[in-house]
Structure 1
């Protein structure tokens, strides 16, 4: 092997490792919902290539209001779906859209875009 081929091989291996780390090993971002008046738990989730934060922690039996701010116009982020709660919302670009419900049972519940490419998790304690 020539020196050029060795550099290309090492570069390819490093690139593969970087992609694998990004998709499988990078840390998840999470936040606790803020409690407001009447026990309402509220959080702002920004939508731009993903959900930020992508993990929201709330308390069971108290109403939740998740405010989604869509900061992009990509087709995938047009809707957010909460299959376990039977909720979904159409997200208008550059506007905050609330999704309200009351989780009764503790557990981990997924939310996602309509295509399933953007994913987040609601942790109910």
Structure 2
């Protein structure tokens, strides 16, 4: 997936845990230092900095499923 955000507008991405596969139990934004366990609650929110233009890649805990913001 690709999520497009507007520079300077505060943003959050919500991850809705619908698949209990171990690989999908975490989301990792390596550039942001984020490694969130998605099993603790139904929806997990990750704050995304929008103060400068750029691309932040994210992946599942096993780096098999990918996306970018």
Q: TM-score range by the shorter chain?
A: 0.7 to 0.9
Counterpart selection for 2:24 from 77, 82, 107? 77
Q: What is the aligned length?
A: 69
- Deviation at residue 115 of structure 1 after TM alignment: 1.0
- Deviation at residue 93 of structure 1 after TM alignment: 7.6
- Superposition map of 1:57-96 within 5 A: 57-92=4-39, 95-96=42-43
- Deviation at residue 85 of structure 1 after TM alignment: 1.5
Contact 1:55 1:121 (8 Å CA) reproduced? yes
Report the TM-score when normalising by structure 1. Answer: 0.50
CA distance in 2: counterparts of 1:81 and 1:69, whole angstroms:
14
Report the TM-score when normalising by structure 2. Answer: 0.84
Larger radius of gyration: 1
The gaps in structure 2 that reach 5 residues or longer are none
- Superposition map of 1:25-64 within 5 A: 54-64=1-11
**Superposition CA RMSD, Å:** 1.8
